Amino acid sequence: MAKGTRKTKTRSTTPDRRDDGPVPGVFPIDTGTCELVRDQYSDTGWILQINGVPSSHIDLADPKTLDFEYMRWIAHLVDSERDPKERLRVLHLGGGACSMARYICATYPDARQVVVEIDGALAELVRDWFDLPRAPLLRIRVGEARAVTETLTDSTRDIIIRDVFAGSTTPVPLTTAQFTTHVRRVLAPGGIYLVNCGDTPDLQGARAEAATIGAQFEHLAIIADPAMLKGRRYGNMIIAGSDVPIAQSPALARELLGGGVPAHVWGDAEVRKFAASASVRED
């Protein structure tokens, strides 16, 4: 199962990229190999694959370009809830090419972000390739996502985004009630927890994730394309939790209908109905 679904685009006719930027190739990293591939539809776009799985897309010319559908869904939800003038404190669990972190840096100039990436070699390569903002705007912390989260101080993050995959699945320790308790503890009041959940058509994993997040947060939302919500294909959905109502803006619903893969948003009642048959996942 691919980690990201890309939008459909037409071939760019802009000039070739300069020679001092990233170069395509396969590179050794701590967890295997990564491959940097030119985007055939954009002369400034690059695709990062980790151990053969598409992980991230970067547009060097525009950090607000998010090529993977699920990343645009995350961005739409955050933007519907937050003011660009806010000094957001954002924790990214899972780094890849730092596509979401670049987007937030561009959209929320005063944001302070930490990206937790388990692969130190990958983190160094990404910094070299993509000229990421430096600390304090964006700091990459090498470590395992759960271990780092458990060390963080209470109420110190406004947004936590979990986008961690080992191959095509999220490690189970990052999906349990015990881990989600730490996420809730680290989030400030009014904060939002967003997870990228990849699942098969039976949706058993997504239901369990929704039930587990719903046990910790008073308000839930899900964003996914209709075929995924109906269990007709495998893919990605975004599950979000907060202690305040979220995803209620009509503008968000309209935004999600755009793009190559139109998506629907479910509110709290629909998500809890979806998760009713699942048990909370424990360590």
- Structural contact between residues 164 and 174, judged by C-beta atoms closer than 8 angstroms: yes
The pLDDT assigned to 131 comes to 86
Question: Domain locations in the chain?
Answer: 62-275
Whole-model pTM over 0.85: yes
> In this structure, are strands 235-242 and 187-199 parallel, antiparallel, or unpaired?
antiparallel
pLDDT tens digits for range 41-67: 999 999 999 999 899 999 999 999 999
Structure-model confidence comparison of residues 21 and 105, the more confident one:
105
CA distances (Å), 99 to each of 65, 73, 94, 185, in order?
A: 9, 13, 11, 26
Class of domain 62-275: alpha beta
The pLDDT assigned to 16 comes to 37
User: What is d(CA 164, CA 68) in angstroms, rounded to the nearest whole number?
Assistant: 15
Q: Which amino acid is at 42?
A: S
Q: Sign of torsion, CA 141 197 78 259?
A: positive
pLDDT tens digits for range 240-281: 999 999 999 999 999 999 878 899 999 999 999 999 999 999
pLDDT tens digits for range 200-251: 999 999 999 999 999 999 999 999 999 999 998 889 999 999 999 999 999 9
String of DSSP letters for 234-266: -EEEEEEEESS--S--HHHHHHHT-SSS--EEE
Q: Supply the Cα-derived Rg of the chain in whole angstroms.
A: 18
Mean per-residue pLDDT over the chain, rounded? 92
String of DSSP letters for 23-59: --EEEEETTEEEEEEE-TT-TTEEEEEETTEEEEEEE
The pLDDT assigned to 8 comes to 41
The pLDDT assigned to 2 comes to 45
The band of 4, judged by pLDDT with boundaries at 50, 70 and 90, is: low
The band of 167, judged by pLDDT with boundaries at 50, 70 and 90, is: confident
Check pLDDT > 70 for residue 86.
yes
